Structure 1
């Protein structure tokens, strides 16, 4: 029988994280899912050992794809998606995790006739800063990801990625409309996919307590690191390339008139901002001078007051002695 949800877990040489991910997935209150693990160039034996520890019923719902060499995050996602058949799809990377009701709440949302036109749904997400200590995952601190987020819009997504794969459950039919993940992108592939999704249809948002948790390890590198830190320069480069590709396509279809006009408006706004910054710098410099003068004056007053008080003491003492006699 076909499961309603295909969960795709990308992993590579991170057995500690994969073990936690398996516990997390099979602890969901909604159990009508299949799990496709994509081992993207890691040791097959380590993955097989972990899956063999699950119950027979759970093992029957797991499909494992082993890539002899890494094909990259987006190609791994596509391989996992195509290996599944679920009505809904979600990417659950090996180091991220969910609240137990994530699947239940998101499926319930998309099953609601009021949300029939939504291509998928994203949830309130929390960043969990972690570190690896003696082979254990230790949480360090937590913070809400985009605490001001109240809805998912293309306008916001154009500026910067406002979601991560662990937070997004969507309809499989979406791939027929917008295609799969762009395998030419070594990073920012999820953001580029979100742009195409939101260009095509709406995406819902479940607010409230976090239902998804994005694990980050700023101090880790190698297999235990996050690409957002380890490949920061690549993120900036491919962010620019994605924007340029989409702009090029837009110009090819509609000409440069609007783009040229908006570019000029943007340049003028940037010049206004720079002028404001220069005026602010000048104001700060003048304020520093005034504060310096006040500080010097204050020191002079303190010094004079102190000397005056010192000279007054003998006179006060003489007056007290005279009054006693």
Structure 2
């Protein structure tokens, strides 16, 4: 009988992170899952060795797909999705982690809300540094603590939730297709946006059950894509937005776009004038006080 949840993990030559990720998965109170690790062009035997030293539960429920050469992060994700058997899917990045009750809470929510396409956990960012095999925590902060829900209007600005926080129904891929393999990055932003266009999503709980580990100084295999590949993110984001803008103009014409651009420019200019006036008003008492002091000491 197939498991309820299929967990897909992509990795390449990061055994320290995979070891922690396997502990995260193995500690889940919900145990009806399978794990598919896609080794995307990593050194032979590295992933097998890490899995071999993990708990019996993890070993017996893990399958490894090995790509002789790296195909890319979204090709790797799609390979895992294609091999998955569960009705529910989640991408567990190899350097992130979950609270033990995350899968249980997500599975229960989706059982109780059959109309929902998926569910999102609130996220806590964990800042860390790796030295050899040691991962040292530097601090934590909430990700988007003021957000009331993963909203489509906010998703237009930037991705509101990372893959590890999103448990979704497999049928979404039947409706939307797989992750876009033409994109070097932000494939999750594109997919999540299309999901939100289909229907609303909710947060599981006010407290975060997902930990998004980030290493500000990490480079090479230690890097997070949002930091180490920030230029790829910036460029891909701009090109995607330009493509969508072109489609809008092709459908609706340039009139509305030109009107709103003009109004936005006028608003920006008005804000600059208002800020300059406020700044001048705030500095006026200081200038008067300075002149009084100067005149006093010059006597």
- SS of residue in 2 equivalent to 1:71: coil
Shift in Å at residue 74 of structure 1? 1.5
Deviations along 1:38-70, one digit per CA (max 9) or x if unpaired, are: 111211311010112235553232111111222
- SS of residue in 1 equivalent to 2:248: helix
Who is 1:41 aligned against?
A: 41
Gaps of 5+ in 1: 305-325
| Alpha-carbon contact 2:6-2:87 (below 8 Å) kept | yes
- After the TM superposition, which residues 157-176 of structure 1 pair with which residues of structure 2 at under 5 Å, given as runs? 157-176=155-174
- RMSD (Å) for aligned C-alpha atoms: 2.1
Who is 1:58 aligned against?
A: 58
| Alpha-carbon contact 2:23-2:54 (below 8 Å) kept | no
Shift in Å at residue 219 of structure 1? 1.1
Per the alignment, do residues 98 and 294 of structure 1 end up closer, same or farther by CA in structure 2, a change over 3 Å counting?
farther
| Alpha-carbon contact 2:127-2:214 (below 8 Å) kept | yes
Who is 2:96 aligned against?
A: 96
| Alpha-carbon contact 2:26-2:57 (below 8 Å) kept | no
Per the alignment, do residues 250 and 20 of structure 1 end up closer, same or farther by CA in structure 2, a change over 3 Å counting?
same
Who is 1:274 aligned against?
A: 272
Deviations along 1:149-207, one digit per CA (max 9) or x if unpaired, are: 12111011112221111111111111122222111211222111111111112212123
CA distance in 2, matches of 1:260, 1:133: 52
Query: More helix per residue: 1 or 2?
Result: 1
Who is 1:74 aligned against?
A: 74
CA distance in 1, matches of 2:236, 2:88: 28
Who is 1:177 aligned against?
A: 175
Per the alignment, do residues 53 and 250 of structure 1 end up closer, same or farther by CA in structure 2, a change over 3 Å counting?
same
Deviations along 1:107-162, one digit per CA (max 9) or x if unpaired, are: 111111xx322211111110000001242011110000011112111011112221
- SS of residue in 2 equivalent to 1:129: strand
| Alpha-carbon contact 1:117-1:202 (below 8 Å) kept | no
- For these two proteins, the number of residue pairs brought into alignment is 299
Gaps of 5+ in 2: none
Per the alignment, do residues 215 and 269 of structure 1 end up closer, same or farther by CA in structure 2, a change over 3 Å counting?
same
Shift in Å at residue 285 of structure 1? 5.3
| Alpha-carbon contact 1:39-1:64 (below 8 Å) kept | yes
Structure with higher Rg: it is 1
| Alpha-carbon contact 1:15-1:47 (below 8 Å) kept | yes
| TM-score normalised to structure 1 length | 0.85
- After the TM superposition, which residues 1-325 of structure 1 pair with which residues of structure 2 at under 5 Å, given as runs? 1-112=1-112, 115-283=113-281, 286=284, 288-296=286-294, 300=297
